[in-house]
Structure 1
Amino acid sequence: MSKELKTGVVAVLIIAVFIWGFNFLKGQDLFSGSSRYFYVEYKDINGLNKASAVTINGLEVGRIDEISFDATPEKQGVLLVKISLDTDFSFSKNSIAKIYSASIMGGQSLAIVPTYSGETAVSGDYLKGEVESGLFSSVEDKLEPIQSKLQNVLVGADTLLTGLNTVLDEKSRKSLNRSIIGLEGTISDVRKTLTSVNTLLSDNKENLNATLANTKKITDNFSKISDDLAKANLGETVNKLEATLANVNGLLANMKAGKGTLGKLMTDDKMYTNLTNASKEMEELLREMKLNPKRFVHFSLFGKKAKPYNEESNTKNVSTK
């Protein structure tokens, strides 16, 4: 073999290795003939570049082959991403190709979130594309409303301070200062009062303890009294009292109706008159026995008769001789 031929073969090999290495660095494997290609459309790829890894469930299964603008007029500005997979793993056309942040330092990767319902995806199909919010974009999204609210608060505070400066003239500011000084004096007096109260409590600690102990004894005694009352069966006593009152009410009702001796005595005028007359006659009899005892106990040897009853003398309480 001539030197020219050897030089040509070596040059061809060097060029081939260079081309292979260049494509390898780009993420393309020239010796892989079983790759499948899929397309995904994005409005924003968020920094995704060629040769970025493509994963399924965390396993690297391919790479990004090409990123270009869609040539279709109605899709102007849409980015078309071509990905190649080196695996024959099956998934449906409804699977999602999601761009996500591979690390905090940056760098985007693409992950296929497989679904298995529906028609199986084949090489050349279009997949649905999504972009996952990165760490900083998420923080920015959350801070944006806070920033807006903070700006509104600052504007409100500025307006309030401006209004205060307008309202509080020199005289008002002096009055406010005097009020603040008075408030400080009040707080000082309150502190002195609290100090005095603490001192009073400290000096009378023993008396307070004794008072609390007496209070506890009183409550204990009251508790015992309440227990005794509970054990005394007040319900039965009240029932007996009610029965007694009912009997008294019945007795009074019978007396009012004229039943029984007391009832007749209260309601029968004739009996009352007879009792009054009997009492009066008894009084006259006793008076006669006192004034003329000889009429009731009479003894005479000569047969002298006792003097008869004289009503007038009895009425005048005079003895008949």
Structure 2
Amino acid sequence: MNNKHQSIRVGLFFILGLALAWITFESLSGGGGFKKQGYTLVAPFASLKGLKTGDDVLMAGVKIGSVKDTRLGNKRVEAVLAIDPKVQIPVDAVASVQTSSLLGSQHLAVSFGESATMLQPNAELKTLPTVDLNEVIAKLGSVGNKLEELLGTFTGGGAGGTGGGPGGLFQKLDTLVTENGPKLSETLANLQEISGKIKSGEGTLGKLINDPKLHDELLAGVSEIKLAAADARTFMSDTKGIVADVKAGKGTIGMLLYDEATADSVKVTAKNLRELSEKLNGGQGTLGKLISDDSLYVEVQGIVKKADRALEGLGDQGPITAVGVVAGALF
């Protein structure tokens, strides 16, 4: 009887051990033994940076699958993903390797995407380059070195003692201010004096700022300048109209410049005047002889003298006799 009970106990412990081993296996494998494996997607990377088989595939923090396998491809490394069959991933979704904790564990994060077309089994999932924490730390170290060199240029304690030369930039500024302190003080005093004069209304600028009368006169002058500018614009507009009329042959000047008939008439008139002046200068005609021949002038003088003598003898003669005397004297 005791042997029978002992055999039963051994059998129960054996079954219990198998159950515990199965539960442990399912827990470590993500429960893959109790549910469907889903469909497969391939995520190519230049480097997985610590992603390994069994790591989770998350979408917005929710587990949608796991990394089934990792393998080398053609100049790349591929992560084979087992995705839950209930989850559909758009073709424009993007996967990236991200750090799950400070201990260095990784997971694969997948974005939602916006396309209505879904990825089919064994399709490739778009990926982003994996950020290497070591590269980030190295870059931070490089930035730190550059900051140290930059601070050295200000403090004079840069690497190798070359930061900004002896004394550094701050010390150079301090020396510059110390050496030029009296000049700076004098400059500030002059500026204060100038500002005081302006405030009290001294000088042209002070009067302009403080004297309202001068301000009003300045505004009036500006207004007059504006009026003059407006008149100038009006004059220019009128001038343009006159020029346009002249070009169109309107008016006397327009006819003279652009009317061929008028121009020909002017040319003929000028020619006639030139010929007339030449004849006058040559003594031709009555007017020419009157201008050029002095004999006529002499004769006229003789006649005038005779008339004077005849008029002198009129004092003792009667009217009829006087007329006869004058006629006899002249002819």
Q: What is the TM-score normalised by the length of structure 1?
A: 0.57
Cα distance in structure 2, aligned partners of 1:289 and 1:146: 130
Say which SS state the counterpart of residue 194 (structure 1) adopts: helix
Question: Which position in structure 2 is the counterpart of 1:290?
Answer: 308
What residue is the counterpart of 2:165 in the other structure?
Answer: 162
Conserved in 2, the CA contact under 8 Å of 1:44 and 1:79?
A: yes
Going from structure 1 to structure 2, the CA distance change for 1:80 and 1:138 (only over 3 Å counts) comes to closer
56, 61, 66: which one pairs with 1:63? 66
Aligned 8 A contact 2:209 2:215 in 1:
no
User: CA distance change for structure 1 residues 40 and 204 in 2, over 3 Å: closer, same or farther?
Assistant: closer
Which residue of the other structure, out of 39, 54, 73, is the alignment partner of 2:57?
54
Question: Residue 100 of structure 1: which of 98, 101, 125 is its match?
Answer: 98
* AA in 1 matched with 2:252: K
Is the contact between residue 53 and residue 62 of structure 1 (CA under 8 Å) also seen in structure 2?
A: yes
In structure 1, the residue matched to 2:226 is 219
CA displacement at 1:226 relative to structure 2:
3.9
Quick one: distance in 2 between partners of 1:180 and 1:156?
24
Q: Which residue of 1 aligns with 2:282?
A: 268
| Aligned mates of 1:283, 1:45 — CA distance in 2 | 139
221, 240, 258: which one pairs with 2:252?
240
Aligned to 1:197: 198
Tell me if the contact between 1:295 and 1:307 (Cα under 8 Å) persists in the aligned partners.
no
Cα deviation code 1:236-256 (max 9, x no counterpart):
479634656978787555433
Measure, in 2, the Cα distance between the counterparts of 1:39 and 1:228.
Answer: 84
Report the more deviating stretch, 20-29 or 222-231: 222-231
Partner Cα distance (2:14, 2:99) in 1: 40
Structure 1 position 216, deviation (Å): 0.7
Point out the more displaced range, 273-282 or 102-111. Answer: 102-111
Confirm or deny: 8 A CA contact 1:20 1:30 kept in the other structure.
no
Distance 1:244 1:7, change over 3 A: same
What residue is the counterpart of 2:189 in the other structure? 188
1:132 aligns with 2:113: no
Residue 34 (structure 1) shift: 4.9
How many residue pairs were aligned? 284
Distance change (3 Å), C-alpha of 1:306 and 1:39 = closer
Counterpart residue number, 1:281? 299
Q: How high is the TM-score relative to the length of structure 2?
A: 0.56
Shift of the alpha carbon at 1:183? 3.0
Question: Which is bigger in relative contact order (C-alpha 8 A, separation at least 6)?
Answer: 1
| Contact 2:42–2:81 (Cα < 8 Å) also in 1 | yes
Q: Distance in 2 between matches of 1:222 and 1:53?
A: 82
| Matched letter for residue 308 of structure 2 | K
Q: What does residue 7 of structure 1 align with?
A: 9
| Number of the residue aligned with 1:75 | none
- CA offset digits 1:68-98 (Å, max 9, x no partner): x99xxxxxxx99977655549999xxx9975
Which runs of 5 or more residues in structure 2 are unaligned?
157-161, 258-262
Query: Structure 1: 5+ residue runs without aligned partners?
Result: 71-77, 310-321
Deviation at 1:19, TM superposition (A): 1.9
1:164–1:250 Cα change, 3 Å: farther
Shift of 1:219: 1.9
Measured after TM superposition, the shift of residue 221 of structure 1 is 5.0
1:11, distance to aligned residue in structure 2 (A): 1.8
The share of aligned pairs that are identical, in percent, is 14
Q: Relative to structure 2, which stretch is displaced further, 4-13 or 48-57?
A: 48-57
* Matched letter for residue 109 of structure 1: H
CA distance in 1, matches of 2:163, 2:95: 52
After TM superposition, the structure 1 = structure 2 runs for residues 167-178 of structure 1, keeping only pairs within 5 Å, are 177-178=178-179
1:19 paired residue number? 21
Output the amino acid matched with 2:22: W
Is 1:207 aligned to residue 214 of structure 2?
A: yes
What's the Cα RMSD here? Answer: 5.7
- CA offsets per residue over residues 103-157 of structure 1, 9 Å max, x none? 799742125799x9xx9749xxx999975227x7786576566445445545655
